[in-house]
Amino acid sequence: MKKLTIRLTVNAESKEWSIAPGDLLLDVLRREGYFGVKRGCEKGECGACTVLVDGKPIDSCLMFAAQADGREVLTIEGLAHGGALDPLQEAFLDHGAVQCGYCTPGMILNAKALLEKNPNPSEREVRETLTGNFCRCTGYVKPVEAVLAAAKAYRRAR
Amino acid sequence: MSTHVVGQNLRKVDGVKLVTGGAAFTDDIHLPGLLYGKILPSPHAHARIVRIDASRARALAGVHAVLTYKDVPRVPHTTAGQAWPEPSPYDTYLLDSKVRFVGDRVAAVAAETRAIAEKALGLIEVEYDVLPAVLDMEQAMAAGAPVIHDEPDSTGIHDRQRNIAGYILREIGNVEEGFRACDLVIEREFRTGRQQHCPLEPHISIAWLDADARLAIRTSTQVPYHARRQCAMILQIPVSRIHVVKPRIGGGFGGKQEMLLEDIAGALALATGRPVKIEYTREEEFYMARTRHPQILRMKMGAKRDGTIVASQLTVLATTGAYGSHSTTVQGNTGSKVLPMYRAGHMRFECHVVYTNTPVAGAFRGYGCPQGFFAQESVVDELAHELKMDPLEFRRRNAIRLGDIDRLSAQLGEGREGLPRVIRSCGLYQCLDRGAAAIGWAGKRQARPRRGRLKRGVGVACTMQGSGIAGIDWASAFLKMNEDGSFYLQAGASDVGGGADTVLAQIAAETLGVTLDKIVITSGDTDITPFDVGAYASSTTIISGGAVRKAAEKVRAQVLEVAARMLDAAPESLTGCANAVSAPGGKSVTMTDIAMQAMYKDKLQIMDGASHYNTDSPPPFSVTFAEVEVDTETGQVRVVHLVSAVDPGTAINPMQAEGQVEGAVAQGLGYALTEELLLDELGRPRNASFLDYKMFTAKDMPKVTTILAETDEPLGPYGAKSISEVPINGPAPAIANAIYHAVGIRIRKLPIRPEDVLRALRGAGC
């Protein structure tokens, strides 16, 4: 099959990958070892495969890898810096917002995009955002609490 | 008792890898030469395979194996991950010449890529003799209905000619006599839907032959040991030649208390000599995995004018779908865990579990109780109303209480006679009081009806469950000390995402007198950890936790013996916590000192293990309160506030315990209002996607209040019972009762759809 080469930034590292034109970003990221990108439905419904592309949350199962050429991708693996967790990751742990953890990376990345844009969201806005991330374990109570708690740290950081 | 680790809101021991995207789950591994496995699902609800020719598929480049029923051993078994001998019928085959539901296995392929595997499925030529199918459980026992299990070699089927997988009849007292003594008797019929577990991680197994040519199976399971035993039987290789590894699991909810893909992944790995991964797509997960059992329930209950319940009777027709996985055990629970909620002297439970050509039902959080409590709590509410009593008061007067002996459970064990259940801890009345306060019961029950189209009401439901299967569930654990004063805990238990590893580590730390960071845990690996039945029946905290506590007590004794020599004091005089042991005079040694002394001076590995089971299954209690708003023009029901008050015994980690309640509430809300896997007239799924199968999202959730009404259970480690299942039982009946309070109609079918509400409102002249 015809291959093509894409150059992109993943978690602040430059990458050059050989892909097939039809490869989905989800599959390529997992193939390259970014296991934090989860396969939940492959139809853009559950949000488990959420990554940030140029800062925007994207269902990586709905994006061709070829479309990521020249862009900046952030996966959950790129969120902690020098061993220090992102405030969202800390808050998810402290608030018991992680159960099985399968939806967690997508939820945290989606929440990060929200907090970067609006570090003072209302509970309603947090819920509106997390509606794109299905979770079958938590009932969303603690994830919403965690995002609201992390928002404080995002505000302080500004 | 003063505790330092138990009862604390500590972070999950596996939390960091989960929030950082570490390689944690079954699929988070790269194996050289990995093949992609795929199952050809039956397009027919009921058919015989007349001819199957895989030669074109086998000839496709990149295909390494195609298996049909002709290529594999024929071993009747059950996929239910239950303790041996499983009480479920042996009516399932690795592959068969007959298919019994849309989605049943026809053949399996292993190929270089997913695309090639999918293409190969299309090249398998199958000629079917399509048989009449029975999709409606009410038709399954009728004369002339097609016989679904006509194969001669299946066993454990109650009456195959009438499609009856299982039958249960139990009675205590004499219900006929009881009903005659009543002033008021109410009998109603209820119907419940087909809910799917929807774990975010669908079923997945990866199998390969390791360097010693043993079959390794890395799999998303709640039952690694049962899966190993069953795979050995099905694949006809010794148990010792199989190694099952359970990594982190992306949710189970009972759906992974099944040996569902391990056998076929193993067969493909054996056939190809290559690693094979097989996983369900989301669509396949909906109809090829498992569902909750749909039931038709007839609930009859009678009371005296003074409000005393005298007799209760529950008659159930349930379908297990095409195979009898968990058929009698789930339905047994519908009687044994539900009826004893109230102290009627006469109780009767009868149930037929029938096969239909529909997706297979299995274990699902609540395990038969959500159906039973929907019926019972609706009828109890109606009785209270007819007797002009407050529904809360009526429940208080009749509910089970401390010191009671539940005799029905004695008759209804895990597919056989069980053991009597003694109530040694009971937070039910605390749940009633605190829950009522949280929802504002008194004020809202008295509130004058609102004007306009939106009407509000509040409802309540009392429910209970068990904590492990009495006399059957057992677990073991092993602990050894490391040089730095930490301990390695090997537990057979299977954390499926609920936080069991953390709870077990907390129990170990508490018992050993160390901080949580001094416990390293491996769980659910059949080579490394000792046996455990697995994560089901709300057993892990009480049973596996019991094993961990026993093992830790033995190890603690060894630690104190070494410390006593070092401190020149009697072991029983020593005290300690937070990683050190002190003698009466104040002299102390650290755990590290003790470990180094033992290992390098005494030449002693401090280590021990223990097994544990209980002969009783202490019930956790839960009272659910719902406030709803009914739109009388559209029939839409909006839950405004849901209060779930739960007695889990001691909450080992309250934050995690609350999370279990909140997750169960969300799943229970879906069961009550929106979730149902629908089939068309040919038995094909109509809504096998997250878009069309509606779960509650973050935005749909009402205000949820969680109350932990803790008690001290004598049979549990540090007083713990269980919590993961019981809160799912309450939302449906509490909502149905709240709808009645709001608009005066009784909805007796789940899920409660707007159209049903609207129809009932119109019928009632509203």
Please say if the pLDDT value at position B19 is more than 70.
yes
Residues A32, A36, A37: CA angle, nearest 5 degrees: 75
Q: In chain B, positions 47-66, which contact chain A (CB-CB < 8 Å)? A: none
The reply to whether residue B691 touches residue A92, judged by beta carbons under 8 angstroms, is no
pLDDT at residue B1, rounded to an integer: 44
Q: In chain B, positions 497-536, which contact chain A (CB-CB < 8 Å)? A: 497-499
Q: Does one domain contain both B318 and B423?
A: yes
Question: Has residue B150 been placed in a domain?
Answer: no
Report H helices in B578-681: 591-596, 654-673
- In this structure, the number of other CB atoms found within 10 A of the CB of residue B748 comes to 19
Q: Are A41 and B284 in contact (CB under 8 A)?
A: no
Which value, in Å, is the radius of gyration of the alpha carbons in chain B?
A: 27
User: How far A123 CA lies from chain B's nearest CA (Å)?
Assistant: 10
Which of B15, B248, B689 lies closest to A45 in CB terms? B689
Q: Does one domain contain both B446 and B337?
A: yes
* Chain A: residue whose CA lies nearest to B662: A139
In 3D, which of B262, A147, B433, A32 has the Cα closest to residue A155? A147
Instruction: Determine the average pLDDT of the residues in B730-743.
Output: 98
CB pairs under 8 A between A and B: 180
What number does CATH give the domain A87-157?
A: 1.10.150.120
pLDDT at residue B451, rounded to an integer: 86
* Tokens matching residue A143: 């994830």
The reply to whether residue A35 touches residue B14, judged by beta carbons under 8 angstroms, is no
Size (chain A), residues: 158
Question: Has residue B505 been placed in a domain?
Answer: yes
Convert the pLDDT of each residue in B678-723 to its tens digit: 999 999 999 999 999 999 999 999 999 999 999 999 999 999 999 9
Question: Which are the contacts of B176, defined by CB distance < 8 A and separation ≥ 6?
Answer: none
Q: How do the domains of chain A map onto residue ranges?
A: 4-78, 87-157
- Asked if omega into B654 is within 30° of 0 (cis), the reply is no
Per-residue exposure over B350-383, b if at least 16 CB sit within 10 Å of its own CB, e if not: bbbbbbbbbbbbbbbbbbbbbbbbbbbbbbbbbb
User: In one letter, which amino acid is B6?
Assistant: V
Please say if the pLDDT value at position B569 is more than 70.
yes
Q: Does one domain contain both B325 and B414?
A: yes
Residue with the two structure tokens 């039973």: B372
The reply to whether residue A80 touches residue B20, judged by beta carbons under 8 angstroms, is yes
Residues of chain A with Cβ-Cβ distance to B643 below 8 Å are none
Beta bridge partners of B679: B685
Q: Does one domain contain both B567 and B667?
A: no
Question: Has residue B30 been placed in a domain?
Answer: no
Q: With bands split at pLDDT 50, 70 and 90, how would you rate the model's confidence at B417? A: low
Q: With bands split at pLDDT 50, 70 and 90, how would you rate the model's confidence at B416? A: low
pLDDT at residue B766, rounded to an integer: 56
Residue B249's alpha-carbon distances to A37, B201, B504, in angstroms, are 15, 7, 17
Question: Has residue B156 been placed in a domain?
Answer: no
Give Cα A112 distance to the centre of its chain. Answer: 8
The reply to whether residue B251 touches residue A127, judged by beta carbons under 8 angstroms, is no
Which of A42, A48, A141 lies closest to B662 in CB terms? A141
Which of A93, A138, A140 lies closest to B15 in CB terms? A93
Interface probe with B: pick from A100, A130, A131, A134, most Cβ of B within 10 Å:
A100
Q: Of all helices (H) and strands (E), which one includes residue B243?
A: strand B242-245
Per-residue exposure over A86-105, b if at least 16 CB sit within 10 Å of its own CB, e if not: bbbbbbbbbbbbbbbbbbbb
Which of B249, B690, B696 lies closest to A100 in CB terms? B249
Q: Average pLDDT of chain B?
A: 96
User: How far A30 CA lies from chain B's nearest CA (Å)?
Assistant: 8
Residues of chain B with Cβ-Cβ distance to A80 below 8 Å are 20
Ramachandran area for residue B607 (φ above 0: left; ψ -120 to 50: alpha; else beta) = beta
The reply to whether residue B16 touches residue A85, judged by beta carbons under 8 angstroms, is yes
Convert the pLDDT of each residue in B511-550 to its tens digit: 999 999 999 999 999 999 999 999 999 999 999 999 999 9
Q: What is the C-alpha separation between B109 and B126, in angstroms, rounded?
A: 14
pLDDT at residue B145, rounded to an integer: 98
Number of domains chain B contains: 3
Strand A4-10 versus strand B164-172 pairing type: unpaired
Residues of chain B with Cβ-Cβ distance to A98 below 8 Å are 12, 15, 18-19
Report how many helices (DSSP H) and strands (DSSP E) chain A contains, helices first.
5, 5
Q: Does domain A4-78 have CATH number 3.10.20.30?
A: yes
Q: Are A52 and A109 in contact (CB under 8 A)?
A: yes
Q: What is the C-alpha separation between B761 and B636, in angstroms, rounded?
A: 11
B19 in reach of chain A (CB within 8 A): yes
Question: Which are the contacts of A151, defined by CB distance < 8 A and separation ≥ 6?
Answer: A115, A119, A120, A121
Q: In chain B, positions 193-252, which contact chain A (CB-CB < 8 Å)? A: 197-202, 248-251
Question: Strand order of the sheet with strand B487-491?
Answer: B519-523, B487-491, B474-481, B607-613
* Chain A: residue whose CA lies nearest to B23: A35
B25 in reach of chain A (CB within 8 A): yes
The reply to whether residue A136 touches residue B25, judged by beta carbons under 8 angstroms, is no
Which of B11, B251, B661 lies closest to A102 in CB terms? B251
Please say if the pLDDT value at position B426 is more than 80.
yes
B665 in reach of chain A (CB within 8 A): yes
Beta bridge partners of B609: B478
Ramachandran area for residue A22 (φ above 0: left; ψ -120 to 50: alpha; else beta) = alpha
Instruction: Determine the average pLDDT of the residues in B99-106.
Output: 98
User: How far B273 CA lies from chain A's nearest CA (Å)?
Assistant: 22
Question: Strand order of the sheet with strand A13-19?
Answer: A13-19, A4-10, A72-74, A50-53, A56-59
Residue with the two structure tokens 């329930």: B297
The number of CA neighbours under 13 Å toward the Cβ of A139 is 29
Please say if the pLDDT value at position B338 is more than 60.
yes
Residues of chain A with Cβ-Cβ distance to B25 below 8 Å are 35, 38, 102
CATH number for the domain including B579? 3.30.365.10
Domain end position, chosen among B613, B638, B653: B613
For chain B, what percent of residues have pLDDT higher than 90?
A: 95
Q: Does one domain contain both B603 and B537?
A: yes
User: How far A6 CA lies from chain B's nearest CA (Å)?
Assistant: 22
Domain end position, chosen among B590, B613, B636: B613
Q: Are B517 and B219 in contact (CB under 8 A)?
A: no
Q: In chain B, positions 252-291, which contact chain A (CB-CB < 8 Å)? A: 253, 281-282
* Chain B: residue whose CA lies nearest to A137: B663
Q: Does one domain contain both B480 and B461?
A: no
Q: What is the C-alpha separation between B289 and B281, in angstroms, rounded?
A: 10
Question: Has residue B55 been placed in a domain?
Answer: yes
- Asked if omega into B32 is within 30° of 0 (cis), the reply is no
Q: Does one domain contain both B418 and B320?
A: yes
* Tokens matching residue B16: 């960091």
Q: Does one domain contain both B306 and B280?
A: no
- In this structure, the number of other CB atoms found within 10 A of the CB of residue B114 comes to 16
Q: What is the C-alpha separation between A98 and B659, in angstroms, rounded?
A: 9
Q: What is the C-alpha separation between B151 and B130, in angstroms, rounded?
A: 16
The reply to whether residue B689 touches residue A43, judged by beta carbons under 8 angstroms, is yes
Question: Which are the contacts of B500, defined by CB distance < 8 A and separation ≥ 6?
Answer: B493, B494, B523, B535, B540, B541, B544
Size (chain B), residues: 766
In 3D, which of B227, B446, B688 has the Cα closest to residue A42? B688
Residue with the two structure tokens 């109609």: B745
Q: What is the C-alpha separation between B256 and B285, in angstroms, rounded?
A: 11
Q: What is the C-alpha separation between B120 and A13, in angstroms, rounded?
A: 39
Convert the pLDDT of each residue in B390-411 to its tens digit: 999 999 999 999 999 988 887 7
User: How far B560 CA lies from chain A's nearest CA (Å)?
Assistant: 34
Q: Does one domain contain both B484 and B604?
A: yes
B659 in reach of chain A (CB within 8 A): yes
Residues of chain B with Cβ-Cβ distance to A89 below 8 Å are 19-20
User: How far A83 CA lies from chain B's nearest CA (Å)?
Assistant: 10
Question: Has residue B175 been placed in a domain?
Answer: no
User: Domain of B603?
Assistant: 15-22+474-613
Question: Has residue B4 been placed in a domain?
Answer: no
Instruction: Determine the average pLDDT of the residues in B44-53.
Output: 98
The reply to whether residue B12 touches residue A98, judged by beta carbons under 8 angstroms, is yes
Q: Does one domain contain both B639 and B519?
A: no
The reply to whether residue A96 touches residue B496, judged by beta carbons under 8 angstroms, is no
Question: Which are the contacts of B679, defined by CB distance < 8 A and separation ≥ 6?
Answer: B102, B135, B194, B358, B359, B685, B686
Question: Which are the contacts of B306, defined by CB distance < 8 A and separation ≥ 6?
Answer: none
The reply to whether residue B701 touches residue A35, judged by beta carbons under 8 angstroms, is no
User: How far B30 CA lies from chain A's nearest CA (Å)?
Assistant: 8
Q: Are A109 and A50 in contact (CB under 8 A)?
A: yes
The reply to whether residue B662 touches residue A131, judged by beta carbons under 8 angstroms, is no
The reply to whether residue B19 touches residue A135, judged by beta carbons under 8 angstroms, is no
Give Cα B688 distance to the centre of its chain. Answer: 21
Q: Does one domain contain both B578 and B624?
A: no
Give Cα A153 distance to the centre of its chain. Answer: 19
Interface probe with B: pick from A98, A124, A131, most Cβ of B within 10 Å:
A98
Q: In chain B, positions 93-112, which contact chain A (CB-CB < 8 Å)? A: none
State the angle between helix axes of A141-157 and A104-117 in degrees (0 to 180), rounded to the nearest 10: 40
Q: In chain B, positions 417-476, which contact chain A (CB-CB < 8 Å)? A: none
Report H helices in B573-682: 591-596, 654-673
Q: Can you give the pTM of this predicted structure?
A: 0.97
Instruction: Determine the average pLDDT of the residues in B278-300.
Output: 98
Q: Does one domain contain both B368 and B496?
A: no
The reply to whether residue A76 touches residue B21, judged by beta carbons under 8 angstroms, is yes
Report how many helices (DSSP H) and strands (DSSP E) chain B contains, helices first.
19, 28
Residues of chain A with Cβ-Cβ distance to B22 below 8 Å are 35-36
Q: What is the C-alpha separation between B312 and B741, in angstroms, rounded?
A: 24
User: How far B401 CA lies from chain A's nearest CA (Å)?
Assistant: 30
Q: What is the C-alpha separation between A149 and A127, in angstroms, rounded?
A: 14
Instruction: Determine the average pLDDT of the residues in B635-651.
Output: 98
* Chain A: residue whose CA lies nearest to B704: A141
Which of A46, A80, A127 lies closest to B200 in CB terms? A46
Residues of chain B with Cβ-Cβ distance to A30 below 8 Å are 27
* Tokens matching residue A116: 């970067």
The parts of chain A modelled with pLDDT lower than 50 are none
User: In one letter, which amino acid is A158?
Assistant: R
